[in-house]
């Protein structure tokens, strides 16, 4: 007993520990995922901030270059007027603190360049190409006053050889150069250049604006990405052009020239790990933002890679931050919560041991009393201890429960055998009949012993669906299910049955089985077939009645194309007889004849489809094509009442239904809308038909600008109508037809106008 108590106590403690662990783990992972998603959102915000800052930082450069170009092209400022040109460049440089230099070079090699030279001074470089090349340097103050100047005969600078000049001239539009090392300042930067094009379409020169990229690196150094994260910028060739540590941005290339480091070579292993192996032979090809996780030196990081998307600047920003910046706190809490869970489990084990001892007290007392009785130390007739009374009461309750269960089983067996309805037990895995009652055997003309062991499928018509498939599909959705099927009696006569079953899962290793009641519904099925036939006759009569109303209008509608055909034939015969050389006019008349003939044929085809008495055979057809045919039938009546029939544009949607029935529904709704508008004083007289896909269905809406539907009118009720000569069957028949085709129809009361809607299943559903 003691060992059993210990087991119960340990089991209780284990369950407690397991429950606490599940709660702590679930809370940890939920919080971790939430915080990591928040971290990625922060990275996106920081990346967007960097892009917007870069846009603010660089956009004025292109604007300044384009402004100077416009002034030069319109000869507001000319190269020959050196002072004016220098003054313009000087003012642009002063207006934008991020500009490193502004300049203009022309096709002859002349060059005017203004750059910053300290905090409040500027340096102008002027290269003049004349009879003799001359390069002059002029120092100026904030007020453009000259501080000093000198000439440099050794200077050989030619703007026409620089990449900014050649690229702008070749593309003949404003461009951003790839980052490069400036010739004069030997610092990394980028140039916005715009060509100056003369009246004859020739490039006269190029205006350039330099921006030193180190300002962007300074901005990244001040940027906070988590607590220990960072951001850097890549060029399209994979060079790192901006980094929080500007000292890593310059390397010595071939020939001793300065160059940017590649992402695969930069002395920042975390940056290399954040970008990963995404550098291709074509360079950096990142079109959309990429979220990823990576590990470096045993620490997990989250990263985000975003394209800049600024004009034609092919840059990419990479941001990363350690996961512990966001989830370090909850990791510490997880350890603390785990220790608390262990302490709670130990306390629970101690309490569980005491509880188990309390529960086993009656059993131990019973064992001790039994041992003493067997040794003759106490009289069996002595009053039992109170602890044993508990077991006695439990035993009495168990005996009562067993007796009640046997009684229930007996009552069920009698009910099963004597029931007036057919009842069967079927093995769900094989479909074999395990047990049948007398009523079921009489229903099919067998003896009970002949049916036990047979497959239920063998009693059905060969064309019926496999019952094992029916069982599997139904059991997967509901424990109770039902279906109808055609069975074959022993004498070969067919009989329709209704099967209503309940699935039972056997205890232990027993087989799962189905208990079902089976009724003869042959007479009900025959009545349904008669009602269906009557419904088809009523629907056909409704169509004929409708066509009687439409006959006059359709005759007028057909008369128009036929009259046009007759007139065109007379004109064609006249031209052939009197002007045989006017073949083009004859060809045009024949084309009109063909068009009018097709129009008349479409009207007749739509009329034949609607009037034809057809079987309920579903087919696949385009709903918009059917709506157009129905519109042709109602068009004449609509014109008489000055009503416009509009079919909203949209793609063709194929549905699976009985075409003639759906055509009748559409014509009914269109005629109702036209008649409603005709009886009203509405200024806008339009009926709009639209079709759209809603899930696995197509929804058709018929909306008119009429007076709407009276609140007390019960729609879709037979013989309910507001028309003086109406039958009150139109909407009722329409509902029957739509529901018979697997859809539904309703009036949309939320619309200010009158709007009827119905749905049909899409093709294949």
Domain range annotation of the chain? 2-52+328-361, 65-206, 215-322, 419-520, 528-761
DSSP letter at 756 equals E
Measured distance CA(243)–CA(340) in Å, rounded: 45
- Token couple for 53: 């800052």
Q: How confident is the model at residue 690 (pLDDT cuts 50, 70, 90)?
A: very high
Measured distance CA(428)–CA(267) in Å, rounded: 70
CB 428 within 8 A of CB 512: yes
Coil vs helix vs strand at 10: helix
Query: Which one is predicted more confidently, 535 or 308?
Result: 308
Q: How confident is the model at residue 655 (pLDDT cuts 50, 70, 90)?
A: very high
Query: Which one is predicted more confidently, 288 or 510?
Result: 288
Residue-wise pLDDT for 14-66, tens only, equals 776 676 666 656 655 666 666 667 767 777 777 777 777 777 766 776 676 66
Nearest 10 degrees: Cα torsion 753, 754, 760, 762: -20
For CA atoms 328, 334, 335, 340, the dihedral sign is positive
The mean pLDDT of 634-652, rounded to a whole number, is 87
CB 203 within 8 A of CB 107: yes
| pLDDT score of 166 more than 60 | yes
CB 738 within 8 A of CB 744: yes
The mean pLDDT of 537-543, rounded to a whole number, is 55
- Token couple for 65: 């270059």
Q: How confident is the model at residue 726 (pLDDT cuts 50, 70, 90)?
A: very low
Average pLDDT, the chain: 77
Residue in this structure with the two tokens 């007390």, named with its chain if needed: 712
CB 113 within 8 A of CB 103: yes
Comparing C-alpha atoms, which of 326, 294, 337, 421 is closest to residue 26? 337
| pLDDT score of 80 more than 50 | yes
> DSSP labels for 574-606?
HHHHH-TT-HHHHHHHHHHHHHHHHHHHHHHHH
CB 740 within 8 A of CB 664: no
Measured distance CA(261)–CA(259) in Å, rounded: 7
The mean pLDDT of 176-197, rounded to a whole number, is 78
Query: To the nearest 5 percent, what fractions of the chain are helix, strand and coil?
Result: 50, 25, 30
Phi, psi dihedral angles at 29 (to 5 degrees): -65, -35
Q: How confident is the model at residue 1 (pLDDT cuts 50, 70, 90)?
A: very low
Rounded to the nearest angstrom, the gap between the alpha carbon of residue 55 and the centroid of all alpha carbons in its chain is: 32
Q: How confident is the model at residue 304 (pLDDT cuts 50, 70, 90)?
A: confident
CB 304 within 8 A of CB 43: yes
Is the fold of 65-206 the same as that of 419-520? yes
Q: How high is the pLDDT of residue 353? A: 66
Residue-wise pLDDT for 710-720, tens only, equals 776 777 665 44
Measured distance CA(425)–CA(450) in Å, rounded: 15
Q: How high is the pLDDT of residue 196? A: 86
Q: How high is the pLDDT of residue 695? A: 92
| pLDDT score of 422 more than 70 | yes
| pLDDT score of 621 more than 50 | yes
Measured distance CA(47)–CA(321) in Å, rounded: 13
CB 514 within 8 A of CB 474: no
Q: How high is the pLDDT of residue 501? A: 85
CB 699 within 8 A of CB 758: yes
CB 312 within 8 A of CB 176: yes
CB 299 within 8 A of CB 324: yes
| pLDDT score of 69 more than 50 | yes
CATH architecture of the region 528-761: 2-Layer Sandwich (3.30)
Selected from 2.160.10, 3.30.450, 3.40.50, 1.10.8, the CATH number assigned to the domain covering 215-322 reads 3.30.450
The mean pLDDT of 543-554, rounded to a whole number, is 54
Q: How high is the pLDDT of residue 640? A: 82
Measured distance CA(707)–CA(263) in Å, rounded: 71
Q: Which residues contact 81 (CB under 8 A, 6 or more apart)?
A: none
Q: Give how far Cα 478 sits from Cα of 328, 434, 471, 501, Å.
A: 47, 22, 10, 10
- Token couple for 494: 């067919």
Q: How high is the pLDDT of residue 394? A: 58
Q: What is the percent of the chain where pLDDT is above 70?
A: 69
Q: How high is the pLDDT of residue 615? A: 54
Q: How high is the pLDDT of residue 712? A: 66
Q: What Rg do the C-alpha atoms of the chain give, in angstroms? A: 46
The mean pLDDT of 386-390, rounded to a whole number, is 57
Q: Which residues pair with 126 in a beta bridge?
A: 112, 136
| pLDDT score of 623 more than 80 | yes
CB 243 within 8 A of CB 131: no
Predicted TM-score (pTM) of this structure = 0.40
Residue in this structure with the two tokens 């609140």, named with its chain if needed: 711
Phi, psi dihedral angles at 514 (to 5 degrees): -125, 130
Q: How high is the pLDDT of residue 256? A: 58
Which helix or strand (DSSP H or E) is residue 629 part of?
A: helix 623-640
DSSP letter at 458 equals G
The mean pLDDT of 360-372, rounded to a whole number, is 66
| pLDDT score of 207 more than 70 | yes
CATH 3.40.50.740 fits 419-520, yes or no: no
| pLDDT score of 2 more than 50 | no
CATH 3.30.70.870 fits 65-206, yes or no: no
Residue-wise pLDDT for 738-760, tens only, equals 998 899 999 887 766 789 999 99
DSSP letter at 328 equals H
Comparing C-alpha atoms, which of 65, 78, 77, 242 is closest to residue 165? 65
Q: How high is the pLDDT of residue 752? A: 63
Q: Give how far Cα 754 sits from Cα of 228, 640, 718, 757, Å.
A: 63, 21, 20, 10
- Token couple for 712: 């007390």
CB 706 within 8 A of CB 714: no
CB 547 within 8 A of CB 455: no
Q: Taking the CA of residue 567 as centre, how many other CA atoms within 13 Å lie in the half-sphere pointing to its CB? A: 8
């Amino acid at each position: 007993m003691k060992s059993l108590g210990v087991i119960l106590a340990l089991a209780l403690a284990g369950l407690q520990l397991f429950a606490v662990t599940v709660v702590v783990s679930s809370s940890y992972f939920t919080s971790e995922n939430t915080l990591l998603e928040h971290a990625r959102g922060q990275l996106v915000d920081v990346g967007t901030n960097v892009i917007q800052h870069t846009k603010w930082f660089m956009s004025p450069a292109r604007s300044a270059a384009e402004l100077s170009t416009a002034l030069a092209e319109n000869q507001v400022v000319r190269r020959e007027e050196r002072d004016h040109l220098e003054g313009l460049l000087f003012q642009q440089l002063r207006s934008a603190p991020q500009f490193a230099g502004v300049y203009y070079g022309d096709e002859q090699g002349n060059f005017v360049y203004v750059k910053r030279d300290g905090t409040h001074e500027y340096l102008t470089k002027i290269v003049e190409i004349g009879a003799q090349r001359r390069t002059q340097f002029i120092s100026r103050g904030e007020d453009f006053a000259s501080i000093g100047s000198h000439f440099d005969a050794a200077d050989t600078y030619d703007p026409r050889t620089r990449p900014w000049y050649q690229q702008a001239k070749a593309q003949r539009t404003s461009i951003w150069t790839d980052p490069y090392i400036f010739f004069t300042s030997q610092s990394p930067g980028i140039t916005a250049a715009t060509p100056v094009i003369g009246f004859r379409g020739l490039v006269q020169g190029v205006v350039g604006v330099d921006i030193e990229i180190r300002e962007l690196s300074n901005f990244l150094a001040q940027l906070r990405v988590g607590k220990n994260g960072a951001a850097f910028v890549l060029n399209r060739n994979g060079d790192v052009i901006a980094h929080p540590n500007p000292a890593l941005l310059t390397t010595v290339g071939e020939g001793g020239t300065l160059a940017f480091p590649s992402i695969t070579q930069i002395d920042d292993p975390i940056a290399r790990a954040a970008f990963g192996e995404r550098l291709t032979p074509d360079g950096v090809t990142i079109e959309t933002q990429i979220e990823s996780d990576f590990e470096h030196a045993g620490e997990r990081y989250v990263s985000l890679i975003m394209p800049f998307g600024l004009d034609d600047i092919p840059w990419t920003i990479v941001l990363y931050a350690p996961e512990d910046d966001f989830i370090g706190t909850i990791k510490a809490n997880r350890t603390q919560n785990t220790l608390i869970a262990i302490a709670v489990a130990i306390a629970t084990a101690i309490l569980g041991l005491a509880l188990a001892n309390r529960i086993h007290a009656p059993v131990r007392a019973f064992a001790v009393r039994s041992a003493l009785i067997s040794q003759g130390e106490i009289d069996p007739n002595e009053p039992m201890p109170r602890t044993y009374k508990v077991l006695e009461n439990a035993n009495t309750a168990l005996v009562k429960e067993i007796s009640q269960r046997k009684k229930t089983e007996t009552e069920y067996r009698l009910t099963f055998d004597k029931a007036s309805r057919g009842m069967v037990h079927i093995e769900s895995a094989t479909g074999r009949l395990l047990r049948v009652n007398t009523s079921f055997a009489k229903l099919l003309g067998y003896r009970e012993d002949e049916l036990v062991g047979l497959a239920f499928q063998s009693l059905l018509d060969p064309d019926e669906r496999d019952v094992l498939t029916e069982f599997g599909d139904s059991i997967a959705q509901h424990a109770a299910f039902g279906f109808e099927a055609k069975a074959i009696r022993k004498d070969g006569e067919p009989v329709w049955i209704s099967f209503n079953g309940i699935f039972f899962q056997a205890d232990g290793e027993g087989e799962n089985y189905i208990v079902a009641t089976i009724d003869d519904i042959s007479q009900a099925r025959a009545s349904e077939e008669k009602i269906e036939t009557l419904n088809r006759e009523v629907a056909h009569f409704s169509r004929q009645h409708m066509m009687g109303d439409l006959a006059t209008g359709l005759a007028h509608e057909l008369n128009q194309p036929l009259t046009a055909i007759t007139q065109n034939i007379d004109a064609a015969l006249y031209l052939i007889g009197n002007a045989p050389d006017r073949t083009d006019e004859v060809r045009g008349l024949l084309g009109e004849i063909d068009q009018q003939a097709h129009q008349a044929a479409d009207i007749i085809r739509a009329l034949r489809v609607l009037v034809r008495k057809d079987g309920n055979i579903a087919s696949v057809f385009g709903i918009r094509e059917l709506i157009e045919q129905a519109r042709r039938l109602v068009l004449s009546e609509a014109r008489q009442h000055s009503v416009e029939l509009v079919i909203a544009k949209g793609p063709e949607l194929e549905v699976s239904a009985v075409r003639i029935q759906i055509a009748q529904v559409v014509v009914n709704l269109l005629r109702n809308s036209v008649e409603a508008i005709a009886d009203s004083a509405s200024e806008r007289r339009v009926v709009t038909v639209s079709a759209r896909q809603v899930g696995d269905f197509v929804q058709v809406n018929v909306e008119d600008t009429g007076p709407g539907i009276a609140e007390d009118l019960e729609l879709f009720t037979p013989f309910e109508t507001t028309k003086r000569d109406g039958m009150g069957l139109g909407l009722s028949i329409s509902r029957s037809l739509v529901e018979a085709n697997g859809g539904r129809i309703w009036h949309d009361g939320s619309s200010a106008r009158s709007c009827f809607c119905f749905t049909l299943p899409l093709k294949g559903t």
